[in-house]
Amino acid sequence: MKMKTRVLSLNLSCERGNALLAFLPLLVLILFVDSLWAQDRSPSLAPAVSSESAETTSPDTQGPRQSTAVSGAADVEAAGESAADAEGQGTQPSGAQAPGEQSESAKPGAQNTPPPQPKRILGVMPNFRAVSAGTIPPPPTPKQAFVIATKNSFDYSSSIFVGITSAFAEWTNAHPQLGEGMAGYGRYYWRGFVDKADGNYWVIFALPTVFHQDERYYALGKGGIWKRGIYAADRILITPDYHGHNSFNASEILGRGIAQGISLAYYPSGTRTAGALASKYGWAIGRDVLTNVFREFWPDIATHVLHRHP
């Protein structure tokens, strides 16, 4: 009995360690993107330096020309030419930028515009709930919320995602009563698919319609790396209502809990414990947190790291 207890404790510690390691690649990728932003922002200081240098050199160059205009000891044509030359130089004040230079200075501002949110990430992962930074659409109607929940549940990529998670659950023998092999995999698969669809309809459609909440993700798109990361993570707890005011995200917190409670009806009795239910609920919330963080930074990763359109 003591040996089983020790083995169980070791397994739990390994699972916690694996969960922490899963966050490390995301953290490294975010820091890498932040360093690229710093490099992109640094060249924007060059036009200001060049204009300052132009201002310091222009008085020296105009001095000799003014002295030659005053010393009119030569013939009248030479004086006229020098005066016309001096007048041509004086039409553009020192430090002023030509039209081409103004367009160059406008480029850094254009680069600071947040990239838009795509409908799909990498052309596969659905991103229908994301709203681009700076965009404020009207609140979704119940029909629009239902369509988004349906797309997230029955999109072709959902079968791929459920297939991967079901294979992992079967491989780790998460529910021994479901069996192994292809038969066991099929039992895991349909339960995983029901979990995903049930959660989507509760979180995206049913409860938001009741509470008048907007469950779309509004990207921040600018600011520091930690500010954006914290903003994306706390959208699990905060969401706008139909009037645009921040409110407690009851649709997310209650919706995931209701979905997990319903899952007790079709999972084996051996795993219908309070601890197993709490673990599944925590993973569902954590998955939504990571999804929001990935949504927030994906346009910048695609633009600055992969050098492609999001």
Give per-residue pLDDT as tens, 81-103.
544 454 444 444 444 444 444 44
Give the best-scoring range by mean pLDDT among 23-32, 163-172, 265-274: 163-172
Label residues 274-293 b or e (16+ Cβ within 10 Å = b).
eebbeebbeebeeebeebbb
* Residue type for position 53: S
Cα 212 to Cα 139: distance, rounded to the nearest angstrom:
9
The single residue listed with the structure tokens 């979905």 is 259
Q: What's the pLDDT at 56?
A: 39
Whole-structure pTM value: 0.65
Lowest pLDDT segment from 36-45, 68-77, 173-182: 68-77
CB 186 within 8 A of CB 192: no
Q: Are 44 and 108 in contact (CB under 8 A)?
A: yes
Q: Is the pLDDT of residue 296 over 50?
A: yes
Mean pLDDT over residues 1-23, rounded? Answer: 44
User: Quick one: pLDDT at residue 285?
Assistant: 97
Task: Give the whole-number percent of the chain exceeding pLDDT 70.
Answer: 64
End-to-end Cα, the chain, rounded Å? 55
How sure is the predictor about 114, in pLDDT bands with cuts at 50, 70 and 90?
confident
SS3 129: coil
